[in-house]
């Protein structure tokens, strides 16, 4: 093989890997379509978010949302942007879904019942076909130390086929958030949820 051609090929491959890694590690937006809010005043709720992701699955780095592998199987970190890390986005999502269901969000933990939201899993991994999943247990309590009067686990598991770049993963994560959003709105609109809130 011609030495110049070999050098050129190596340069192109190196450039592609660099672009691939930089793009994948900084471009996850974690966005969802804001649902419409309704002023129904069903009650006031304080939202508590607790990030309990395992250290190797985002617990050590709040922005880490998974691992992506290139054509050769080499792993690279998949990250959200700094101002859209999962715990921040999930708290925002839960608050939006509550407002859509007719509830007000309290800014003070002692002034309203508390909705405890645990970010247990939020991850993507695989090879040419990856899974993107989340698991979010939620409990409604009178305060931090009381027993829950309502609880539900919100889960989603989305399949993504890698083609090139990070776009399929960005779209997959956002599709996952949309699925969780729809399920949350359904549960928060359920009369059982409101009945549990009124029991305090």
Q: Which residues does residue 132 pair with via DSSP β-bridges, in sequence order?
A: 124, 158
pTM above 0.75, yes or no: yes
- In the chain the domains, ranked by start, together with CATH numbers, are 3-198 (3.30.160.150)
pLDDT in tens, the chain (200 residues): 565 545 444 434 433 443 444 444 446 889 999 999 978 889 999 999 999 999 999 999 999 999 988 777 788 899 999 899 999 999 999 999 999 999 999 998 888 999 999 999 999 998 878 999 999 999 999 999 999 999 999 999 999 887 777 888 999 999 999 999 999 999 999 999 999 999 99
Q: What is the largest CA-CA distance in the chain?
A: 79
What the block records as the tokens of 70 is 């290139």
């Amino acid at each position: 093989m011609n030495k110049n051609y070999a050098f050129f090929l190596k340069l192109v491959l190196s450039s592609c890997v660099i672009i691939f890694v930089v793009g994948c590690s900084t471009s996850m937006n974690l966005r969802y379509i804001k649902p419409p809010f309704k002023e129904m005043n069903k009650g006031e709720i304080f939202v508590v978010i607790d990030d309990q992701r395992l250290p190797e699955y985002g617990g050590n780095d709040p922005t880490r949302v998974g691992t992506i592998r290139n054509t050769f199987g080499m792993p690279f970190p998949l990250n959200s942007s700094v101002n859209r890390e999962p715990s921040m986005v999930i708290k925002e999502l839960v608050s939006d879904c509550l407002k859509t269901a007719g509830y007000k969000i309290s800014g003070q933990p002692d002034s309203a019942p508390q909705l405890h939201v645990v970010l247990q899993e939020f991850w993507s991994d695989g090879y040419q076909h990856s899974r993107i999943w989340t698991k979010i247990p939620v409990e409604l309590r009178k305060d931090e130390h009381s027993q829950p009067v309502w609880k539900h686990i919100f889960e989603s598991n989305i399949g993504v086929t890698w083609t090139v770049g990070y776009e399929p993963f960005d779209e997959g994560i956002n599709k996952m958030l949309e699925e969780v959003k729809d399920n949350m709105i359904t549960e928060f609109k359920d009369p059982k949820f409101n009945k549990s809130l009124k029991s305090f």
